Structure 1
Amino acid sequence: MFLLCMYIALGFHKTSIVFLPAYWLVKIPLNSKRIFWVLILALLSSPFELYRLGGDLFSAIAPDDLSGAYTGYVDDRYYGTEVETGLNDIVKLFFIGILIKYDKEACEEVLWYEYMRNLAVTGLALFYFFRSNEIFAVRLPGAYMFFVTMFCMTNIVYATRDRARQILYIGFMTYLVAMFFYFGKGNGDKGSFTKDRYTNALW
C-alpha cells in the first residue's frame, strides 16, 4: 500500500521519490537529545555541500529523467545558490525548539506521534543539509516538512495544557493564516498551483 501511494505521488511530482525512505525512517528511536544532535550535524555539514558527492551514485540508481534533474539543479543559475537567511530560519528555530521541548508530552499523549515526529525531523535535517542549494532545500524536504506544521505542531498543542496550550495555539493559528496568504499570493501563482493552470503527469 505504501508503494502504491508512492506511485500515485510520483504522478504529481518526481521529487516525491525522496519520501520513499519514510517507511523505515519512522522506526528510528529518537528523543530530544538525538533530535538536537541530528539537526546540529545537518547544519554543520551544509557548508561542505556533501550532496554533490551523491551525483554519480544517484545517476547510477535512478532513471535518467530523475538523475538528470538532480545533477542539473546542483549548479542551477537561479536556484543553485544558498537559501537566504531571514524569517524562514526564525520560524524553523521556533518549530525545532517546540519539537524538542514538548517531545515527551506529545509521545505520551498522542498515538503514533513518534512516527510523525521522525518525518518532521527528517524534513528539517534535509533542509539544513541542502541549505547551500535553494531548490534542493525547498523541494526535497517538502514532503517531510508537511509533518512539522500539519501534524507535529497540532499534536503538541493537543498534548500540552493550560497556558502553554493557549500560547502554542495562538502561535500556530497565526502562522497558518500568514502562510495561507503568503503561499496563495506568492508561490501559488509563481508555481502554477492555481485552479486554472495546475496539471500533473496523471491528469
Structure 2
Amino acid sequence: MSLLHPYFLVAIAYILFFSVQEVFGRKVEKKWFWFLGIYLIILVGFRDNVGPDYGSYKGLYIYSDTKSYYSIFMKMLHLEGPEHLDVEWLYTLINKILLNVFNAPFYILTLVIAIFAIIFKIEYTNDNTFYPFTFTLFMFIPNFFVGESGQIRQNLGTFIVYFAIRYIKERKFWHYLFFIFLGSGIHSVCYLFLPMYWVARVPLNKAVMLLLIITSIFLSPFEVYRVFGDFLTNMASDNMLVEGFNGYMDESIQRLNGGFGIPEAMMAILTFFLFVFDTKMKELYPYYEYHRNYAVIGICFYFIFRNNPIFSSRLAGTFIGFSYIIIPNAMYVVSGGVKKMIYAFIIALFIFNFVVFGFFNNIKIGRFTIELYKNHILP
C-alpha cells in the first residue's frame, strides 16, 4: 500500500476536524473553508509533474499556442476557422494567452485552473449543503486526485455549471445559460447540463425513480448509447488525454462484463439514500428535488453507459459528482441517533476509499506519494 504525501494528510486532518464540528457542534464560519481552499490551490496549482495526465496537459499547453486567435474566436461561435481546434475554445484561449502573452511556465496554467476550479467548488458546496467539510471529506478520495489534480478541464467545466445551479434556483435563465456557455468552452460535457434548467424541477416519486433505474439496468447490456454515434464520443473524449485517464482508473474486464465492483456499490448506496430519505428531504431540505433529479439521471446514465468506462465515468460522473451531496445532506433531516449512524458510514466509506486508493497504486501512478510528490514552492 502506498501512502499519501503528508501535505495531503494535513488537509485531510483539517477537513476532518471541522467536519466533526459542523455535524455535532456549531456552524463553522465560511472563512475556515476558504483557508482550506487556499491550501488546496497551493497543492494543486504548484504541483510539479504530479497527476495522471500532467504530461498530456503540458503538451496541450504548447499545442494551444499554435492556434490563431481568429480560429479560437470562430470555435467560440461554433464555426470552423482556418485552423481546426481539437480542444474547446476557452481552455485553448487561456493556454494561448498565458504562453503567448506572458510566456508563463506550465505551472502558472495549473495554478490559474486550480484557482477558478476551487473557487467555484467552494461556492457550489456552500450553496448546497450545511456540511461543506463533511461533503469535501466524503468526496476527497478519489475525486480531488482525479479532478483538481487530474482531469482539470472536465473538473473546472463541471464546477462552473455546478456553481450556476444557484441561477436555476433563482430562475435566472440567461445567467444560467451564460455559465453553460463558459463551462462548455472548457469542456463540451457541460452541454449536458443545459436541459437541467427545466429537468431540475420535474416532479418525481419513488415509483417513477424505481422504473427509470430498473429500465436503465435492463438496457445496460444493449449499449443503446451507440445510436448517438460520434456525438457522445466527442463530448466524452479528451483526445490525447484518454490514454492517461485509462491508465489511472483501472477497469477490470470482469466488472465491465457484468461483475459487481466499487462503482456499482456506490450506485446502490446513492439509490438507498434516495429512497429511504426522499420523503423527509422533500419536507425539510431546500431544493432537495434538484439534487434528487441529478442523482436519478446520473444513476441511469451510469448503467446505460456501463460497458464503456469513459462514458460511465465522464458523462455519468458529471451528474453523480453533484448528486452525492444527498448523502451528507440526509443528516439534516433525521434524528440524532440516525445522524450519528450516517456520519459513521461517511467516515467508514472515506477510510475504505483511502485504503483502496493506496492498494490500487493510484496514489503512486499519480505521483501523490511521499517519495514522488513535488511542488514548485513547497519544500
Is the shorter-chain TM-score for this pair beyond 0.5, marking a shared fold?
A: yes
Alignment partner, residue 110 of structure 1:
285
Q: 1:46 & 1:191 partners in 2: Cα distance?
A: 34
Secondary structure class of the residue paired with 1:114? helix
Alignment partner, residue 138 of structure 1:
313
- Structure 1 residue 15: Cα displacement: 2.1
Alignment partner, residue 41 of structure 1:
215
Alignment partner, residue 186 of structure 1:
362
Alignment partner, residue 5 of structure 1:
179
Q: In structure 2, do the counterparts of structure 1 residues 14 and 188 end up closer, same or farther at CA, with 3 Å as the change threshold?
A: farther
- What is the identity percentage for the equivalent residue pairs of Structure 1 and Structure 2? 27
Q: 2:295 & 2:332 partners in 1: Cα distance?
A: 17
Q: Which runs of 5+ in 1 are unaligned?
A: 60-64, 197-203
Alignment partner, residue 122 of structure 1:
297
Q: Is the 8 A contact 2:200 2:293 kept in 1?
A: yes
Q: Give the ranges of 4+ consecutive aligned residues of structure 1 lying more than 6 Å apart after TM superposition.
A: none
Q: Is the 8 A contact 1:117 1:147 kept in 2?
A: no
Residue 54 of structure 1: which of 200, 203, 228 is its match? 228
More displaced stretch, 108-117 vs 24-33: 24-33
Q: Is the 8 A contact 2:236 2:315 kept in 1?
A: no
- Structure 1 residue 187: Cα displacement: 7.5
Q: Is the 8 A contact 1:123 1:144 kept in 2?
A: yes
Q: 1:8 & 1:188 partners in 2: Cα distance?
A: 34
Q: 1:188 & 1:3 partners in 2: Cα distance?
A: 40
- Structure 1 residue 66: Cα displacement: 3.2
Residue identity matched to 1:135: I
Alignment partner, residue 148 of structure 1:
323
CA RMSD, Structure 1 to Structure 2 (Å): 3.4
Alignment partner, residue 28 of structure 1:
202
Secondary structure class of the residue paired with 1:10? helix
- Structure 1 residue 3: Cα displacement: 1.8
Residue 96 of structure 1: which of 247, 250, 271 is its match? 271
- Structure 1 residue 115: Cα displacement: 0.8
Alignment partner, residue 191 of structure 2:
17
Q: Is the 8 A contact 1:6 1:17 kept in 2?
A: yes
Q: 2:365 & 2:318 partners in 1: Cα distance?
A: 20
Q: 2:228 & 2:374 partners in 1: Cα distance?
A: 37
Q: 2:198 & 2:374 partners in 1: Cα distance?
A: 35
Q: 1:117 & 1:102 partners in 2: Cα distance?
A: 11
Confirm whether residue 66 of structure 1 aligns to residue 234 of structure 2.
yes
Q: Is the 8 A contact 1:32 1:101 kept in 2?
A: no
State the TM-score, normalizing by the size of structure 1.
0.74
Partner deviation per Cα, 1:111-167 (whole Å, 9 max, x = no partner):
110011111111111001111111100000122112222x21122111111322211
Q: In structure 2, do the counterparts of structure 1 residues 68 and 8 end up closer, same or farther at CA, with 3 Å as the change threshold?
A: closer
Residue identity matched to 1:186: N
Q: Which has the larger radius of gyration?
A: 2
- Structure 1 residue 168: Cα displacement: 1.1
Residue identity matched to 2:200: V
State the TM-score, normalizing by the size of structure 2.
0.42
Q: 2:314 & 2:367 partners in 1: Cα distance?
A: 12
Q: Which runs of 5+ in 2 are unaligned?
A: 1-174
Count of matched residue pairs: 183
Q: 1:191 & 1:19 partners in 2: Cα distance?
A: 32
